[in-house]
Chains A and B, each alone.
Chain A
Amino acid sequence: MPADWRDFYALTKPRVMSLVIFTGLCGLLAAPGSINPILGFTAILCIALGAGGAAALNQWWEADLDAGMKRTSARPLPSGRLERTDARDFGIAISAASVGVMGLAIGWLAAAVLAVSILYYAVLYTIWLKPRTPQNIVIGGGAGAFPPMIGWIAVTGDITLMPILLFAIIFMWTPPHFWALALFVQSDYAKVGIPMMPVVKGERSTRRQILVYSILLVPIAIAPWLIGGTGAVYGIAALALSLAFLALSVPVAFRQSVAGDTMRPEKRLFGFSILYLFALFAVLVADRVLAHYGVVG
């Protein structure tokens, strides 16, 4: 039976892709200079396709693990709606297409960084590090940090400190975001043997590390303002959002779950972390728009 096209669509992890598209678009809009709207659309499309390809390759490799976890058991591969080789070929095809189109339409530097981001997620993270080290999320966070950098490079054609800082923000944000989730779904990870931080190092260590990354996120988030890359609108908003993030991570850091725990502080931190990233990048664009029209700085 041929697989339904919706199963191929599900392989691209559309919900994750929405964040990728958003941060990529923000990187593109916040970059100095301008880009033809058709080329800008193409750049975002390639970033989305690249992320979708990497997600498909991730699910191809982890089909057996996904089958053992409640959260992922309904995905197209573990549920048997799609052949593994189809998922692999689909992932390779759209990844290659995204890099090729990016190179031809936008530039080969943006295409090279896109290729690195796909390989980083599909090979370095999924195949190599995720099953081997509890630091998998720290290193894997790099994969999700590439989109704004690629969006920026699509406009400017070069790598400066600002796109590196945008990368660093998502890199620092990922561990507390994901570990907050891992704290309330840890039994699933333990079941399939993924060395997620709460499983291997225990809750106490994970909670302290959430706090460490939340503290580090504050200076990293306001760094674009400190180096003069953005205006005060971004700086003040980034400071307020990062301090709120830190405030929510403190109760998570200094508690221990008990049997039947509702894990409300962890769920609150996880929920806010998503809002945080959307708000931070939205303000980054707003700051640029306001500066462009001479409203501020």
Chain B
Amino acid sequence: MTPEEEREFRHRQKSRNLALGGLLLFFAFLFYFITIARM
């Protein structure tokens, strides 16, 4: 893997991890609010 490919690899990996983290955080909040709404 060339340095450019390595950099692109890291960049994509990071953006996917951030997207997944954001998604998990969103669902954590959503489940919290669903629980409140159904009480």
Q: How far is the CA of A59 from the CA of B30 in the complex (A)?
A: 29
CB of B23 to closest CB in A, whole Å: 9
Q: Please tell me which one of the listed residues B13, B15, B19, B33 contacts residue A38 in the complex, with CB atoms under 8 A apart.
A: B33
Q: A38-B36, A39-B37 are in contact. Are A5 and B8 (CB under 8 A)?
A: no
Instruction: Tell yes or no: A258 within 8 A of B by CB.
Output: no
B25 in contact (CB, < 8 A): no
A1 touches B5 (CB 8 A): yes
- The answer to whether B12 touches A1, judged by C-beta atoms less than 8 angstroms apart, is yes
Mask, A86-124, CB within 8 Å of B = 1, is 000000000000000000110000000000000000000
| Contact for A39 among B15, B16, B19, B34, CB less than 8 A | B34
Interface string of A1-16 (1 = CB under 8 A from B): 1111100000000000
Shortest B26–chain A CB gap in Å is: 10
Q: Indicate if the CB atoms of A42 and B30 lie closer than 8 Å.
A: yes
Assembly CA distance A105 to B34 (angstroms) = 7
Interface flag for A85 (CB, 8 Å): no
Do B12 and A38 touch across chains, with their CB atoms under 8 A apart?
no
Report 8 cross-chain contacts, Cβ distance below 8 Å, ordered by A residue: A1-B9, A2-B9, A2-B13, A4-B16, A5-B19, A38-B33, A38-B34, A39-B37
B: residues with CB less than 8 A from A are: 5, 8-9, 12-13, 15-16, 19, 30, 33-34, 36-38
Q: Which residues of A contact B (CB under 8 A)?
A: 1-5, 36, 38-39, 42, 45, 104-105
